Amino acid sequence: MTAVLPDEVFYHIFSFLDSRSLGNALQCSTTFYRIATAPALWEIPYALRWTTGDAEREEQRRTARWRQTRRIKQLEAHARRATLEKAQAPDSSTDSPFRYLRLDPKHDQLDASQAESAAGQPDFYRLFIERIAIDQQVLDTLYQQVEATHARIPVVTSLARRFGNDAKDVLTAVVEAQASCPSRSTDGLPASPTRTASTDYRINAYNAHLPTTLRSDTHHLVILHHAREILEHLQRRQAMHKIDELARMADDTPEPRLEPSISAGRFVPSDTETAVSLLTMFRGGEASYVEAQLDELAAACDLYLQQRLPDPSSVATCGLDAVAAAKDMALAICDFLADHGFRGARDSLFTDLDNHFLHHCFTTNRETLPLSLTLVFCGVATRLGLRASLCNFPMRILAFVMVDNSAPLPRPDQTLAEVTNDMFWLDVTEHTTVAYNAHEPTPTDAFARQQSWLEQRPALLDRDDLTGWIGRIGVPPSDDFWRPASPDVMVQRAARNILNSVQMAQIRPRNLQPGNQARNVIRSIELERRSARLQQQWTHLARVDLAFLSSVHGRTDAHEHDCITKTVAKALEGSIGGADVAEDETTWGIVRRWRSESMRSLITSPECWSLPAVPAARRFREWMDERAVDNDWTRVQDDLYRRADHWSEHEQQAAKYAAINALLRLNTQVSAREVDWIAAFLQSYFMLDVDVIEHDFLGIESGFSAEPAHDAGEEEGSEGSESSQEASWSRREEQSEGGGMVQNASVRVILRRMLQAVRVKDAQPPRVNRRARGDEEDLIGYRVGTVFRHHTYRYAGCILGWDSHCAAPEDWIVNMGVDRLPPPRTTSPSTSTPRQRRGGRHQPFYHSQVADGTRRYVAEVNIERVLGPIWIYGLPDNAAAGFEPVEEARSLGAAVHQMLALRGLGEYFRCFDQQHAVLRPNRDCTTMFPDDWSDNDAEQQHPQDNTVETDRLSEDGSW
């Protein structure tokens, strides 16, 4: 057949194949290999799997410019579709559907070498093979972390140095998959009889990227934990490196770049936008995500402005004032943002921790802080041709806008009275709030606003207006707050705001404040009103910018919708490695969005727990049917209700870590107190960052920072082991004396010893805890992983560890009245008669994770074990007919769902066994508690709690 058909026919046939089928085809013959390895056939498969990469390697691969060009083409395609749907006449003066958008540099802005490089097509087949090989090594490292019990830091450090950002995409895919709904199992146990040694959870790099790959049934908690830890370490590592560059730039150049520019043929956002975006990378966000979201908003705003503003050519012809045109455009951008939910936060939402992190401000937190909101405005405005920058005005944030893009910025020695009048200032928070409240679309005018509200619109501030403001607050007009602020100044201001919000979150969560019950009722009414208006807008898609955004996020026509539903459901019905879905952006985007929301639908629908378990394919069909009714694929309406009311301890610490890192790295002096802060973060939350802190604060080169791992057979607490660590640190300190941010000798010693403690802790195997030694009687009533109810307070939790007696400090024992606790009454395994046990501090105590996110220390007398099953994913096929869970089981199901979503549970457990209502331990946990319930144990008789008439005391505080 190869001798009959021309190559073009085979190429056309191969263009319909996915990458797995292409890989099979190229092995058939040399002719097929030559055709099937054509770079164009592998461009889409490559683009779907890898959205980022190491900066240096990306330049060598010639993919940086290619990503930008491809992104622009995608936005243009969605814009043309939305324009045709709304019967809007395209701009005849250009081939692009956009009029103002400036993301694509012109070729005449590139020199000859850059143009030649931009014109070259990367060899996507070779790049595909290269990245798959890297991803497989990353997965091997991840699974090594899953099975390891200690010495994790050197492994992750080595991975970060070798691959950097190249490892992010596969780790992101793993995190998304492990956070999804169950794939097959209903009891959380593997089919293999050798459950402990089973490695069925391992998948290869190719399957890890498929959007239809769902979580492991038996190890999803532990895989999710370690994949997220490594991914977030890479994100923090990149953010700290970029902040250091920002600090050096502030020191070396008196006038840092404030506006976007063209670099290597690529649109580069302003330094301020990039700098503030770096803070999101300390809480699981990505600066590239912020940039992409601003690109989409700017493209949608361009379509909006084409309907609201006159053609720029007619403005020039009519001789209209350029300043007035720029002001009209700035106000129109504010109207656009307000129509899409962006506005200033009210008092009850002002201290929301998520307001400071931009990756939340495009979804749940569009009602946000002035700094974040103004930064979104400036990002959109600069992409549309305005020269907008943040202005660090006292007690508020203003946007500084210059009319002439080519004019120089105000010099540092210029006063406000000396600058020209071709600039103005804008309070974005006030304008968006007024514009939001004024929006009242009608069937004939989707842009209509109330005239009474328009009359209250705040005025744009000219030089004279700002001078009046300054005079009223008594600030000298020569201060720098009226001019564009430098990136380091805005990052430090954002960092201080974060610390204030963390302090408020620690003092009192918003939903627990006195008087907030009435506020929550008012907020619910407001949400219902806003949701109804959004539903009407998105259902009918009355505006072209709404149609554009909905198309970008996955909206399809009826035929395409049906085809995607059938093919994806078929792939989900098969096992991993079965049929693949079509490799196109729309299909993969839809499936990945469903996968990220699949567990949320289970958690919020307790009625389904008493019904037969629904397979993943059916869940996908139901989700697609729901999405077909509501065209708001951007999920703006749902995001109104998903705003967090409280934040976990880890989220608060990550926010503080971001703020303190920014403040320390942008200041030259580091005190002993600040060193204590950084070291405390590493010891408790961010141990993987020790290599970066060593290099940046002490100047220890990366080649010396990796410590040799301890032998697993070394005795615990060996003096030789610790002294070797000390010697290693001493040699490294001698080689790097005086380097890094910390220059004070005594502070360096303190930090060095603290970081040494982190490495020693990581290098040591976990301590083994025996339930009984020798012929001693086992007095521990419950095992690690047991789900329980508190006897007095009725909260649900699970056991993380135990002590044979109360190991809390004496003052805590006295304050909590532990000695007055009655003894637990249990039944001996050998007889049916109860045996009396000691009470007070002498009974076993349990370290426990509570469903609300707190950790408690609970006496055994207050533990009431929950007996299974708890079918939190629906009843299995072999469940008893007519099984009706009691109301207690329903509330427990909600608590278990809440507990499984907590961060850090994967440190101890690998999955939840619904049949026995226990959490199955991972390798770490079985090493620390080898005598506790293992995977091969049958259902064991646990002691039953008999009611004791003595009141239980509140001994379950944290210490």
Output the pLDDT for position 527.
Answer: 86
Given a cut of 60, whether residue 469 has pLDDT beyond it is yes
If you average pLDDT over residues 738-754, what whole number do you get? 84
Output the pLDDT for position 732.
Answer: 42
Residue in 619, 614, 613 with CA at minimum distance from that of residue 591: 619
Output the pLDDT for position 403.
Answer: 85
Output the pLDDT for position 105.
Answer: 57
348 exposed, middle or buried (CB, 10 Å; 0-12, 13-18, 19+)? middle
pTM for the whole structure: 0.89
Q: Which residue has the higher pLDDT, 669 or 309?
A: 309
> Residues 608, 612, 613, 617: is their CA dihedral positive or negative?
negative
Residue with tokens 């000695």: 819
Q: What distance in Å separates the CA atoms of residue 211 and residue 592, rounded to the nearest whole number?
A: 5
pLDDT, tens digit, 9 for 90 and up, residues 27-70: 999 999 999 999 999 999 999 999 999 988 998 999 988 998 99
| 3-class secondary structure, 102 | coil
pLDDT, tens digit, 9 for 90 and up, residues 550-595: 999 999 888 999 999 999 999 998 755 456 788 999 999 999 999 9
Q: Which helix (H) or strand (E) holds 312?
A: helix 312-318
Output the pLDDT for position 835.
Answer: 52
Lowest mean pLDDT among 235-239, 425-429, 614-618, 867-871: 867-871
Q: Which residue has the higher pLDDT, 896 or 183?
A: 896
- In the numeric block, which tokens belong to residue 178? 């492990």
809 exposed, middle or buried (CB, 10 Å; 0-12, 13-18, 19+)? exposed
Lowest mean pLDDT among 140-154, 478-492, 574-588, 751-765: 574-588
Output the pLDDT for position 253.
Answer: 60
| 3-class secondary structure, 797 | strand
Residue 797 forms beta bridges with which residues?
788, 850
Output the pLDDT for position 261.
Answer: 58
User: What is residue 808's DSSP assignment?
Assistant: S
- In the numeric block, which tokens belong to residue 292? 């992409």
Q: Which stretches of 253-311 are DSSP H helices?
A: 271-277, 287-308
pLDDT, tens digit, 9 for 90 and up, residues 490-545: 999 999 999 999 988 776 654 555 455 666 777 788 888 888 888 877 877 778 99
Q: Which residue has the higher pLDDT, 163 or 677?
A: 163
Q: Which residue has the higher pLDDT, 92 or 614?
A: 614
Q: What distance in Å separates the CA atoms of residue 182 and residue 186, rounded to the nearest whole number?
A: 8
Given a cut of 90, whether residue 153 has pLDDT beyond it is yes
Which band of pLDDT confidence, cut at 50, 70 and 90, is reported for residue 677? confident
Q: Which residues 6+ apart lie within 8 Å of 498 measured at CB?
A: 279, 353, 356, 655, 656, 658, 659
Which band of pLDDT confidence, cut at 50, 70 and 90, is reported for residue 870? confident
If you average pLDDT over residues 355-362, what whole number do you get? 95
- In the numeric block, which tokens belong to residue 376? 């979104």
pLDDT, tens digit, 9 for 90 and up, residues 188-208: 454 443 444 455 788 999 999
Output the pLDDT for position 883.
Answer: 58
Domains of the chain, residue spans: 268-522, 668-763, 787-928
Q: Which residue has the higher pLDDT, 89 or 128?
A: 128
Given a cut of 90, whether residue 301 has pLDDT beyond it is yes
Lowest mean pLDDT among 360-374, 479-493, 549-563, 831-845: 831-845
Amino acid at 539: T
Q: What distance in Å separates the CA atoms of residue 89 and residue 734, rounded to the nearest whole number?
A: 71
- In the numeric block, which tokens belong to residue 733? 């300190």
Lowest mean pLDDT among 438-452, 713-727, 888-902: 713-727
Contacts made by residues 28-31, CB under 8 angstroms, sequence distance 24+: 29/2, 31/2, 31/7
Cis previous bond, 869, omega within 30: yes
Which band of pLDDT confidence, cut at 50, 70 and 90, is reported for residue 876? confident
If you average pLDDT over residues 664-683, what whole number do you get? 84
Q: How many CB atoms lie within 10 A of CB 475?
A: 15
Indicate the average pLDDT of the chain. 82
Output the pLDDT for position 458.
Answer: 84
Q: Between 220-252 and 649-665, two packed helices, what is the crossing angle to 10 degrees?
A: 20
Q: Which stretches of 358-397 are DSSP H helices?
A: 370-383
If you average pLDDT over residues 387-414, what whole number do you get? 84
Lowest mean pLDDT among 5-9, 771-775, 895-899, 915-919: 771-775
- In the numeric block, which tokens belong to residue 316? 């020039």
Strand 387-391 with 398-402, pairing = antiparallel
Residues 722 and 683 sit within 8 Å (Cβ to Cβ):
no
End-to-end Cα, the chain, rounded Å: 76
Output the pLDDT for position 437.
Answer: 81
Output the pLDDT for position 318.
Answer: 56
Residue 801 forms beta bridges with which residues?
847
Output the pLDDT for position 954.
Answer: 40
DSSP letter string, 625-650:
HHHHH---TT-HHHHTT---S---HH
If you average pLDDT over residues 843-851, what whole number do you get? 94
Residue with tokens 């220890």: 700
Given a cut of 80, whether residue 725 has pLDDT beyond it is no
Work out the percent of the chain whose per-residue pLDDT is above 70.
81
Residue with tokens 């910025």: 409
If you average pLDDT over residues 854-858, what whole number do you get? 93
Which band of pLDDT confidence, cut at 50, 70 and 90, is reported for residue 944? very low
Output the pLDDT for position 631.
Answer: 79
| 3-class secondary structure, 606 | helix
Output the pLDDT for position 190.
Answer: 45
Output the pLDDT for position 226.
Answer: 97
Output the pLDDT for position 938.
Answer: 42
Distances (CA, A) of 613 to 303, 600, 607: 45, 15, 12
Q: How many CB atoms lie within 10 A of CB 192?
A: 12
Given a cut of 90, whether residue 85 has pLDDT beyond it is no
Which band of pLDDT confidence, cut at 50, 70 and 90, is reported for residue 172? very high
Output the pLDDT for position 233.
Answer: 97
Given a cut of 50, whether residue 682 has pLDDT beyond it is yes
Distances (CA, A) of 833 to 828, 830, 865, 939, 943: 7, 9, 20, 21, 11
pLDDT, tens digit, 9 for 90 and up, residues 415-427: 777 777 788 999 9
Residues 327 and 302 sit within 8 Å (Cβ to Cβ):
no
702 exposed, middle or buried (CB, 10 Å; 0-12, 13-18, 19+)? middle
